[in-house]
Amino acid sequence: MTDLSAIELEDVVKEFTSHGEVVQAVKGVTLDIAEGEFFSLLGPSGCGKTTTMRMIAGFEDPSRGVVKLHGKDVTNIPPNKRDVNMVFQSYALFPHMNVWDNVAFGLKQRKVDSAEIQRRVAEMLEIVALTGRERRMPREMSGGQQQRVALARALVNKPRALLLDEPLGALDLKLRQAMQIELKRIQREVGITFVYVTHDQGEALTMSDRIAVMNDGLVEQLANPREIYERPSTAFVAGFIGTSNLLAGTATSGVLKIGGGRVLVPGRDGDVTVTVRPEKITISTEEPEGELSTVAGTVSELVYLGTYNSYTVALPDGGEITVFQQNAHDSSITAERGDSVWLSWQAQHSYVIGS
């Protein structure tokens, strides 16, 4: 990546009128996306992420604010004049054209030299691992292969940025997971800025250099995947990204009393909300020793999920804590529903929201 920004949004607002009332779908979003970055807009349905992408593409006009591509103000420039391409969940392939003709379509429309079309289409099909399938029709291909064709068709025109709106949503789980790895590989290989819209936290964490977590038209946190997962800035981010336990109360001398136990929050006093991830917690039938956060409870639910067990532990004060325990061959815990257990974790794994 270079220091040049590929895409900049400056206090962008999008308003719609619904039943005579003005509704803000996007409420003053400011973003700076670097050249060559894999950037994701992540959030639940209705949070404004797709509207934000459509304003980057030019399919929606901002009510206020500025959209820049590579330093140029394109706020009032139509989509066909912006050097970006978009890939949709529906693929939108031409059903009467084979793979080669689908990928070459844009180049032919621009009257690119025939030899150059041959070279660029062949190069792009190799990048998306479809060499040898040039004469296949879309109906003869799997969903994952059709998605690769759509990618090749968008990338063969060498856009400065590629916008992807939930492109893997129609695929089954296993194929979707495989395509996540492929998309990241393709993005690294072509070196183009990717802006990816998704509601799937796993997708965003797997592929992104940075993620903007959106909620109700606003960006709640903008950071790399590890920072967002380990150090969520709001309770919404903590709850939306993966599974998290939120524990709230008043800390005294760095200790938060929870359900008869203690949560260590060194250097903290006063009202706090703490998040701790389920995989950071150890579950045992005996009270642990040492400088740990320790909470006692009763197993209310146990779910076997293949690689790990998910425990729901009810606390004496009515709260619950979720624990993920890896199914290692030497695991000694045999807690069942109704068993009394101790939960423990290291102090650094209690992250205070907003710190």
Rounded mean pLDDT of 35-63? Answer: 95
- The pLDDT of 215-231, averaged and rounded, is 96
Residues of the chain above pLDDT 70, percent: 97
Asked if residue 220 and residue 184 are part of one domain, the reply reads yes
CATH of residue 336: 2.40.50.140
Indicate if 208 and 302 belong to the same structural domain: no
Same domain, yes or no: 20 and 132: yes
Task: Say which DSSP state 138 is in.
Answer: G
Most confident of 84-93, 148-157, 211-220, 320-329: 211-220
Residue 266: which of 344, 342, 351, 354 has the closest Cα?
351
Same domain for 22 and 125? yes
Residues 203, 273, single domain; the answer is no
Q: Which helix or strand (DSSP H or E) is residue 161 part of?
A: strand 161-165
Residues 225 and 252 in one domain: no
Q: Please tell me the predicted confidence (pLDDT) of residue 1.
A: 46
CA distance 162 to 195: 6
Residues 93, 226 within the same domain: yes
On the question of pLDDT at 335 being above 90, the answer is no
Instruction: For residues 335 and 226, state if they share a domain.
Output: no
Containing structural domain, residue 308: 244-352
Mean pLDDT of 230-257: 93
Q: Are 89 and 166 in contact (CB under 8 A)?
A: yes
Say which CATH number the domain at 148 has: 3.40.50.300
- Domain boundary residue, one of 204, 236, 268: 236
What's the pLDDT at 7? 96
| DSSP type of residue 348 | G
Over range 133-161, report the average pLDDT: 90
Residue 355 pLDDT: 65
- 125 and 199: one domain? yes
Higher pLDDT, 37 or 307: 37
Select the more confidently predicted residue: 175 or 146.
146
Q: Are residues 191 and 312 in the same domain?
A: no
pLDDT tens digits, one per residue of 163-201? 999 888 777 888 888 888 888 988 998 899 999 999 999
Chain segment 247-292, per-residue pLDDT in tens: 999 999 999 998 778 999 988 899 999 999 999 999 998 889 889 9
Residue 142 and residue 35 in one domain: yes
**pLDDT 10s digits, 71-127:** 999 999 999 899 898 887 777 889 999 999 999 998 998 889 999 999 999 999 999
Q: Which of 188, 210, 236 is the last residue of a domain?
A: 236
143: left (phi over 0), alpha (psi -120 to 50) or beta: alpha
Task: For 316-328, write each residue's pLDDT tens digit.
Answer: 988 899 999 988 7
Q: How confident is the model at residue 230 (pLDDT cuts 50, 70, 90)?
A: very high
Q: What was the pLDDT predicted at 3?
A: 67
pTM, full prediction:
0.88
Last residue of one domain, picked from the residues 218, 236, 254: 236
One domain for residues 148 and 287: no
Helix (H/G/I), strand (E/B), else coil: 154: helix
Q: What is the three-state SS of 39-93? A: EEEECCCCCCHHHHHHHHHCCCCCCEEEEEECCEECCCCCHHHCCEEEEECCCCC
Where residue 169 falls (left for φ over 0; alpha for ψ -120 to 50; beta otherwise) is alpha
> What pLDDT score was predicted for residue 217?
97
Provide the pLDDT for residue 166.
87
Q: How confident is the model at residue 295 (pLDDT cuts 50, 70, 90)?
A: very high
Number of domains composing the chain = 2
Does 330 have pLDDT greater than 70?
Answer: no
- Across the chain, what does the average pLDDT equal? 91
What share of the chain has pLDDT > 90, as a percent? 68
